[in-house]
């Protein structure tokens, strides 16, 4: 397939195609009896079987279990039991989340055979909400490494052009949603691991407020920066997915002891009076930023203002402060999390993961304390300079389109990669942040924008995102997929 053909995309056929039904559309048809959950699951499984050989988004497909859960959902819905917005809807989990009886491989030889004794909090809530688990999704090793060839499963590939990476580490989630296998998937974000795949694959990716979604039963990387949440094909799909998993969990002390608000009630696209901040200093004058991305952000701001939002420029602390601080915290915590295996079984790590984790050994207590103090001041600066007077901050998510696989280094650290993300600041501060597609660059690959809100301000992000999606979303366009014979790159259960 030529590069042009691979990126040309196809127009979706509309609601008649089961893959193109939104969560709300599918839910309405499930409740009316016009379709069944079994039909949705079988259709999704058929797409995965036909096309995932070229994309590697799944590492495990739970076909039999999925169909049984779909049959149960159909029985319950026919009987009048409604468990919520994802009842009967297929989804999948990044392979760092435990699901009872299934392996949690973390894409690592160290844990490739580990079988979960119970459900993670995310899976527990999705199961209780009647969702239909289709399987486990590709990730970078321990949500940290890269698209490395020395791991148990091949790396996921960008569906818009398989010669390009989908970004990571929630790579399989971004690919599966963009390809139309799923409406929603669930991943983690420690420095941009959901927003990166969303940006590079043209989906919506939400890093919720720190502590909004429980991390119980999810493999940790950097406990004070780990976030857990959804990727979706639309803003409304993503809001429905967050509704299903958000809320307190006594097993995770990071969670807030308060119920999640209604995220679905405000998806009207009305942004009149919404206070929107932006600061072009982070991206507009950086030569690494594609002009198309800067222009896209400017169009988004103009559109919001035209709809009645109040758009104002603000002054942010230097991006480099956030980046350096976040890298120190993540390095120290990542090394501490994996120290035992790094010392006892270093050769079982993938090459890139080992090289990325090991520098954390050199972060001393004084370094970490200084970073934590800087982190406090940066959080304070955002709260006072931006979110005291604004509902949403609009900024860049990534600076370029997805890199080619052959441009990705086998050793770390690399020269500056031409797909640098600007996501780590809000993983460091804990503010909610969402990657939203804005269309495509001249090379046919997706570009987008990042929306950031005050803590627990996800509803404002959905409000602004709905308005922008209506103008720029191109939700009717899908990547052209290759049909290939199934192989043994992932298991079927």
Of 193, 214, 222, 279, the catalytic one is: 193
Q: Who contacts 288 (Cβ-Cβ below 8 Å, separation ≥6)? A: 399, 400, 416, 418, 420
3-class secondary-structure state, position 304 = helix
Of 94, 136, 207, 356, the catalytic one is: 94
Distances (CA, A) of 96 to 168, 307, 438: 13, 41, 29
Q: Specify burial of residue 79 (Cβ count, 10 A radius: 0-12, 13-18, 19+).
A: exposed
Cα–Cα distance for residue pair 32/9, rounded to 1 Å: 32
Of 57, 167, 169, 435, the catalytic one is: 169
Block residue for tokens 């307190």? 248
Cα–Cα distance for residue pair 187/203, rounded to 1 Å: 13
What is the DSSP annotation of 41-77?
HHHHHHHHHHHGGGT--EEEE-HHHHHHHHHHHHHHH
Q: Specify burial of residue 198 (Cβ count, 10 A radius: 0-12, 13-18, 19+).
A: buried
Residue 312 φ/ψ, nearest 5 degrees = -140, 145
> Can 32 be counted among the known catalytic residues?
no
> Can 57 be counted among the known catalytic residues?
no
Cα–Cα distance for residue pair 328/449, rounded to 1 Å: 26
Cα–Cα distance for residue pair 196/202, rounded to 1 Å: 10
Cα–Cα distance for residue pair 440/447, rounded to 1 Å: 5
> Can 207 be counted among the known catalytic residues?
no
**Residues labelled catalytic:** 94, 169, 193
């Amino acid at each position: 397939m030529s590069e042009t053909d691979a990126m040309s995309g196809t127009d979706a056929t509309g609601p008649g195609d089961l893959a193109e039904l939104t969560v709300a559309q599918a839910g309405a048809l499930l409740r009316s009896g016009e379709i069944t959950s079994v039909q949705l699951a079988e259709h999704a499984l058929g797409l995965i079987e036909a096309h995932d050989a070229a994309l590697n988004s799944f590492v495990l497909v739970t076909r039999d279990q999925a169909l049984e859960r779909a049959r149960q959902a159909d029985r319950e819905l026919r009987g009048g039991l409604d468990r919520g917005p994802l009842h009967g809807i297929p989804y999948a989990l990044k392979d760092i989340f435990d699901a009872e009886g299934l392996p949690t491989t973390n894409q690592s030889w160290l844990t490739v055979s580990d079988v979960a004794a119970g459900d993670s909090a995310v899976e527990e809530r999705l199961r209780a909400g009647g969702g239909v688990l289709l399987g486990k999704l590709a990730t970078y090793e321990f949500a940290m490494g890269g698209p490395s060839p020395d791991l148990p499963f091949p790396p996921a590939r960008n569906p818009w052009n398989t010669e390009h990476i989908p970004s990571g580490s929630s790579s399989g989630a971004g690919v599966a949603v963009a390809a139309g296998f799923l409406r929603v998937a669930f991943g983690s974000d420690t420095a941009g691991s959901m927003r990166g795949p969303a940006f590079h694959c043209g989906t919506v990716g939400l890093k919720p407020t720190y502590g909004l979604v429980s991390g119980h039963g999810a493999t940790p990387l950097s406990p004070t920066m780990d976030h857990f949440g959804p990727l979706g094909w639309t803003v409304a799909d993503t809001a429905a997915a967050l509704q299903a998993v958000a809320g307190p969990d006594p097993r995770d002390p990071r969670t807030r002891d308060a119920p999640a608000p209604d995220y679905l009630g405000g998806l009207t696209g009305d942004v009149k009076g919404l206070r929107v901040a932006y600061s072009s200093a982070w991206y507009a004058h950086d030569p690494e930023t594609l002009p198309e991305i800067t222009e896209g952000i400017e169009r988004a701001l103009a559109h919001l203002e035209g709809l009645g939002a109040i758009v104002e420029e603000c002054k942010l602390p230097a991006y480099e402060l956030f980046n350096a601080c976040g890298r120190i915290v993540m390095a120290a915590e990542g090394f501490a999390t994996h120290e035992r295996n790094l010392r006892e079984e270093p050769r079982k790590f993938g090459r890139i993961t080992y090289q990325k984790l090991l520098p954390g050994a050199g972060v001393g207590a004084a370094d970490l304390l200084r970073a934590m103090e800087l982190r406090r001041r940066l959080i304070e600066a955002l709260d006072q300079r931006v979110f005291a007077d604004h509902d949403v901050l609009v900024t860049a998510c990534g600076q370029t389109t997805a890199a080619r696989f052959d441009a990705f280094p086998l050793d770390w650290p690399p020269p500056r990669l031409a797909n640098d993300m600007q996501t780590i600041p809000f993983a460091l501060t804990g503010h909610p942040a969402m990657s939203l597609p804005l269309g495509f660059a001249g090379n046919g690959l997706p570009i987008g924008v990042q929306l950031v809100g005050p803590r627990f301000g996800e509803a404002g992000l959905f409000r602004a995102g709905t308005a922008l999606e209506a103008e720029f979303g191109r939700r009717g366009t899908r990547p052209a997929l290759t049909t290939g014979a199934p192989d043994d790159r992932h298991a079927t259960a």
